[in-house]
Structure formats: structure tokens, C-alpha cells
Amino acid sequence: MTLSTPTVSPARVFDPLAHKDDLTAFRAEVRAWLEAVVPADWQTRMTGADEADYVAFQRWWFAEMQKVGLATPHWPRDWGGADIGIRHQTIIFEEVARAGAPGPELFVISLYHLPATLFGHGSQAQRDRYLTGVKERGEVWCQGFSEPNAGSDLASLRTRAERRGDVYVVNGQKVWSSYGAFADYCLLLARTDFEAPKKQAGITYFILDMKAPGVTVRPIRQATGQSEFCEIFLDNVEIPVADRIGEENAGWMIAQSTLSAERGLIVFELSERMARAFDADLAEAKRTDAAWLKDDQLRREFTAAYSDMVTLRLMIRAMMQEVEADPHMGSATLPTYIKIHFSNILRRYTDFRVRIGGLAAQAQQPAVMGGGHQTGNAMHDFILSYAWSISGGTVEILKTVIAERVLGLPR
């Protein structure tokens, strides 16, 4: 693939505050930019693309968004963002979904998890170095939390970090790190105190340079045929003390900031894309007078999933308003309901598409790299839907959280 698509980026950066009271103008500006920049054939070009092309395309898209301030609009102004609020962010997500634009998925940790962690707990030197690296050099980050025996029970992690002078020497293994094979840096949790009375109390948070000696990355081939994840092996890796985030043994509390980033804007964007996909499917079915339109059971399924999708969007908007009203407190329980609801609808919807697609939809064709769950390849999207009921806390664990912490049911 070549990235020769001419782009017509506006000369000036989007400034949401310039449209503080004129959301219609802001929407029009975002829409015009997307129409000018998103290559009409990007999904065709990314179908079955190899890793090198995929990464090049993702980098190109990130750079285009960054040129006009749409990569980091949610970052603070002092850091090249726009302190964007809920109303403007809603418009961006709606318009990105409407345009069927690629998602900057390679940069999710860089854009959301990293700032959520560093703004709350990083040093000034760490913010200067690493947030600037994302903004100006498009550095890719991954997250090294899970281990073979520490996923749902993350606090049981065994990767060991021992302080020796100005460095920590780290040994252990991480698993399921998304985009770890392309990452420059990793948000890493390791155990510094094996004797702590509570296992959560002995964990420290580090920045790991993925090019440091002793780091080995091994991609994991998934059921979809892709290798989004990888294992990371750490063999006497030296991490400078300056790359420790927060105090020694305070990593568990800091990790909650990282994980909270998953609960907001990311699901928001995905739900907008899902809504567009529903509408596109319905329009196509009507256009072709699809057989499922006359099947009572399938009509019921589609209508039920559609209604749930509308409810999901309302829940997300309610959550965003709570977070906007008080970014520090925000909603404690809504994100949990939203995650469960989103996983559930995505599974039902992608399963529905496999069934209405007949035999052709049963075959696993090459998918659109970067197309998320709406690649148009029904079987691929269905298999991938399972990822959402596992990542960032499995549905079973989240239901337990509701049972115990919200309903107060006995353990």
C-alpha cells in the first residue's frame, strides 16, 4: 500500500473554544475536515493488510489528526490539547463514526491511559519527556499489567523489580499486551515487596523502554488470525529509578487511574461506531429487501439489540456528564454497567450478522486492519466480539462487583 492519498488538512488547528456556543459550526468544521482527509478506499486498502502497512497507515492517520488538534483534544491546553468538554467530544465521535474514519487504535494507550496516569501521578520530567513524545513523535505505548496467573486477580502478579542503586532490575513475564510488538514504551506493574501484608501493597509502577536490553516480545496469534497481542519477557531488564511512577509500592492505587481511562472515551467512540453500523445494516437490508426483514424472530432480535444500543448511548452520555461535572469523583458504577451492556450488545449484534449473512458469512475472510468490530467481515467481527467481554475486567468479574458493592449481596 502507498500512503500517497492527497490530504487537504485545514491550515489552522481546530479550536473548540472558538465554537463555544456554536456547536453547529464546530460540527460542520469537523465534518468538512473528515470528508477531505479520510481516504474513501481506506477499508479496501487495509483489508488483509500486513503489519507493516497497518502500522504505517495508523501512523499516517495519527499524524493527520495531530496536525489539526484532533488526536489530543481531551488533553489539557498546556499540553497541546484543547481541554475539550463533553459537548464537543460528543460531536467529534459522532462525526468520526459518520465518516467511517479509521480509529487510531495503535495509539489508544498513548492517548488515554498514559496521560490519565502521568497527569495524576507522574513527575514533571516524565510528563515533559513522554507526553511530548506522543504528541510530537507519535510514540506508541502498551500496557504490561496481566501475567499468565494474574489477569482477573491482577494483584497476584509476580514480575519482580529489585532496586540496585539508581536502577531497578526487573524479571518476569507479561501477557496479552495489545500492540506490544509495535510499542516504544510500556506501562509496567511489577512487585517490589513480596512480604507486604496485602498483595496490592507491594506493587510498583514503572515506565519500561521496550528497546531496553533483556526485553523480548513474542506475538500471540489470535482466533481471528491476527496478532494484536503479545507476551513480553523481562530478563534482568534495568529500569532507571527516574522511570518509576509515584512512590515504591504505590503502584496499585496508580493503576486505578490507568484503568479508569478505559471506561470513558474509548467505549464512547465504539458505541457511536456501533450505532452507525446498525443504521447502515438496516438501510442495506431495506435497499435489498433482505429476507430477514420478513422473519419475525430476526426482526425481534434486531429491534431488541437496536433498542439496547440506544440505551447504551444514553448511559454513556450520562456517564460523560457526571465525569464532566466532577472529573475526580465521576461515576463509580455507570462504567461497569456500560461495559457489561456494550459487550452484550456487541456479541448479539455480530452473532445476528453471521446468521443473516448465510453461508458466505460463515467463512473467515481477510479483515480490515483497524476496522474494529465493524470490519464488514461477519465471522471475524463475531469472534472479536469476545474480546470485549474479557479485556479491562471480564463480564463475570464486573457482575460480581455489582452484586457485592452495589447490591450488597453476601459474598
Is residue 400 close enough to count as binding ligand FAD by CB under 6 A? Answer: yes
Question: Measured from the CB atom, is 9 or 226 closer to ligand FAD?
Answer: 226
Judged by CB under 6 A, the residue of 201, 259, 397, 402 near ligand FAD is 397
Contact 217, 225 (CB under 8 A): no
Least distance in Å: CB of 354 to ligand FAD?
Answer: 19
Judged by CB under 6 A, the residue of 43, 58, 110, 178 near ligand FAD is 178
Question: Measured from the CB atom, is 29 or 105 closer to ligand FAD?
Answer: 105
Residue 263 to residues 56, 102, 116, 378, 409, Cα–Cα distance (Å): 28, 20, 12, 26, 24
Question: Measured from the CB atom, is 84 or 387 closer to ligand FAD?
Answer: 387
Least distance in Å: CB of 400 to ligand FAD?
Answer: 6
User: Residues with Cβ < 8 Å from 51, sequence gap 6 or more?
Assistant: 181, 182, 227
* Residue of 271, 278, 261, 262 whose CA lies nearest to 316: 271
What are the residue ranges of helices labelled H in 138-261? Answer: 251-260
Contact 249, 204 (CB under 8 A): yes
Contact 229, 167 (CB under 8 A): no
Is residue 402 close enough to count as binding ligand FAD by CB under 6 A? Answer: no
Is residue 387 close enough to count as binding ligand FAD by CB under 6 A? Answer: yes
**What letter does residue 246 receive in the DSSP assignment?**
S
All three cell numbers of 337 = 454497567
Is residue 90 close enough to count as binding ligand FAD by CB under 6 A? Answer: no
Is residue 152 close enough to count as binding ligand FAD by CB under 6 A? Answer: yes
Is residue 208 close enough to count as binding ligand FAD by CB under 6 A? Answer: no
Please list, residue by residue across 132-168, b when 16 or more beta carbons sit within 10 angstroms of its beta carbon and e when fewer do.
ebbbeebbbbbbbbbbeebbeebeebebebeeeeebb
Judged by CB under 6 A, the residue of 14, 61, 176, 382 near ligand FAD is 176
Q: What does the DSSP assignment read for 284-339?
A: HHHHHT-GGGG-HHHHHHHHHHHHHHHHHHHHHHHHHHHHHH-TTT--SSHHHHHH
Q: What does the DSSP assignment read for 356-392?
A: HTHHHHHS-PPPBTT-TT-SS-HHHHHHHHGGGGTTT
Least distance in Å: CB of 191 to ligand FAD?
Answer: 15
Question: Measured from the CB atom, is 67 or 218 closer to ligand FAD?
Answer: 218
Contact 100, 43 (CB under 8 A): yes
Contact 320, 264 (CB under 8 A): yes
Judged by CB under 6 A, the residue of 103, 122, 138, 151 near ligand FAD is 151
* Residue of 335, 340, 351, 347 whose CA lies nearest to 395: 340
Judged by CB under 6 A, the residue of 169, 391, 401, 402 near ligand FAD is 391
Is residue 177 close enough to count as binding ligand FAD by CB under 6 A? Answer: yes
Is residue 394 close enough to count as binding ligand FAD by CB under 6 A? Answer: yes
Residue count at the site for ligand FAD (CB under 6 A)? 17
Question: Measured from the CB atom, is 146 or 374 closer to ligand FAD?
Answer: 146
Residue in the shown chain whose Cβ atom is closest to ligand FAD: 151
Least distance in Å: CB of 392 to ligand FAD?
Answer: 6
Judged by CB under 6 A, the residue of 146, 192, 224, 350 near ligand FAD is 146
All three cell numbers of 231 = 507476551
- Window 319 to 348, contacts with ligand FAD (CB under 6 A): none
All three cell numbers of 264 = 470513558
Is residue 385 close enough to count as binding ligand FAD by CB under 6 A? Answer: no
Is residue 396 close enough to count as binding ligand FAD by CB under 6 A? Answer: yes
Name the residues that contact ligand FAD, by CB under 6 A.
142-146, 151-152, 176-178, 387, 390-391, 394, 396-397, 400
